[in-house]
Amino acid sequence: MGAYVTVRALADNVSTPWGDIYATVNGHHHDGDACCPEFGPSLDYVNLNKGEHAEGWLAFDVPSRHGQLVLRNASDNSKIAVWTF
Amino acid sequence: MSNPTNPTRPGWSQPPTQLPPQPPKRRQRGKIIALALLTVVVLVAIVGALASNTPKATVTATSTPATSPADTTPTEGSAASDTSAAPAEVATGKVGDTVTTQASDTGEKQAEITIARSSSRAAPSSTSPRGASTWAPM
């Protein structure tokens, strides 16, 4: 599945959560895949300054249409936000 | 018949009836009081010595961060749950919702992140053997 992510920086030097979003389906953890050119443009890993924004697709190879997308904290791996899809 | 119980009969000697001299009751009472006082004094001294030698309990306060390294608050108009009250709480929502990340130390808002939409379009078969045929559009 693909998730279209938009990021708007509210401060300087904010990186996009390129590797900090993963999917869970039935408790299974699925990291994003660097695949799937049809899910383009992809969300790139960039640093944004205040007012800048970035957007793009993140692709996940999951076995179901329903699950969760999780934004994690890169420093301690804790969950920040969960989206249901 | 002789009467052995008759002490008045001549020739019978009186049984010794002398008892040890009894101390006066007043003196006995004084001894008891003095002993009790001495006991109390000794007990107080022992308790005091124990108290002074017992190491005092030390309570060490361990501070833990009240906030996680990053927390979230929902954006205005977003359907995401309210997480502003509890910084460590995980924001939950559905596709289309926006979360705002904050710096844990300063509380400064960092970014608004939105999963704008999702698609179940399958990956190419070379990278995803499950293929698209089994997935319906969302």
Please state the domain count of chain A: 1
pLDDT tens-digit map of B52-98: 654 433 332 322 233 333 444 444 434 444 444 344 678 888 999 99
pLDDT tens-digit map of A25-42: 999 999 988 777 778 788
Greatest alpha-carbon pair distance for chain A in Å reads 38
Task: For B120, name the nearest residue in chain A, comparing CA atoms only.
Answer: A1
Contact A11 B108 (CB under 8 A): yes
Please give the Cα distance from B20 to B134 (Å, whole number).
116
B115, B123, B121, B113: which is closest to B137 by C-alpha?
Answer: B121
Please state the domain count of chain B: 2
Please give the Cα distance from A39 to A53 (Å, whole number).
19
Contact B118 A4 (CB under 8 A): yes
Nearest CA of chain A to the CA of B64: how many Å?
15
Please list the helix, strand and coil fractions of chain A in percent, rounded to the nearest 5, in that order.
Answer: 0, 50, 50
Of A11, A35, A36, the CB nearest to B109: A11
Please give the Cα distance from B64 to B62 (Å, whole number).
6
Q: Which of A48, A49, A85 to mutate to test the interface with B (most CBs of B within 10 A)?
A: A85
Task: Average the pLDDT over each of A2-11, A26-35, A49-58, B62-71 and give the range with the smallest value.
Answer: B62-71
| In a shared domain, residues B107 and B77 | yes
Domain extent, residue B86, equals 70-114
Residue B13 CB neighbours (<10 A): 6
- B97–A contact, CB cutoff 8 A: yes
Any domain includes B49: yes
pTM: 0.54
Any domain includes B8: no
